[in-house]
């Protein structure tokens, strides 16, 4: 049975899924989803990439059972 997860872990998981799909689209079609949603703004694109990086760290922490909120929910 899969354990429950907190809201932060759910958001970081979805952000990582979107990032993975974006990379897949870029590899298959040479179309960058993040550039499209940032409107070509270099600063906005960097912010998006930082958010995805933070989301990745959150998912790694959850996989290592370091999320205290998820651990409380599953006890």
pLDDT, tens only, 8-56? 888 888 888 899 899 899 999 999 888 888 888 999 989 988 998 898 8
With H, G, I as helix, E, B as strand and everything else as coil, classify residue 1: coil
Quote the pTM value. Answer: 0.71
46 is a domain residue: yes
Residue 14 is assigned to a structural domain of this protein: yes
Of the candidates 53, 18, 61, the one whose C-alpha atom is nearest the C-alpha of residue 70 is 61
> Residue 13, Cα to own-chain centre: how many angstroms?
5
Cβ neighbours of residue 74 under 8 Å, at least 6 residues apart?
3, 4
- Tally the domains of the chain: 1
Domain span at residue 57 reads 7-73
Domain annotation covers residue 1 = no
Three-state secondary-structure class, residue 66: coil
- Does some domain include residue 2? no
Tell whether 63 is covered by a domain: yes
């Amino acid at each position: 049975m899969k354990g429950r997860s907190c809201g932060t872990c759910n958001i970081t998981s979805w952000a990582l899924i979107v990032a993975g799909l974006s990379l897949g689209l870029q590899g298959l079609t040479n179309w960058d989803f993040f550039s499209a949603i940032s409107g070509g703004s270099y600063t906005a694109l960097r912010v998006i990439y930082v958010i995805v990086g933070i989301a990745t760290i959150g998912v790694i922490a959850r996989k290592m059972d370091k999320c205290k909120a998820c651990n409380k929910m599953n006890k």
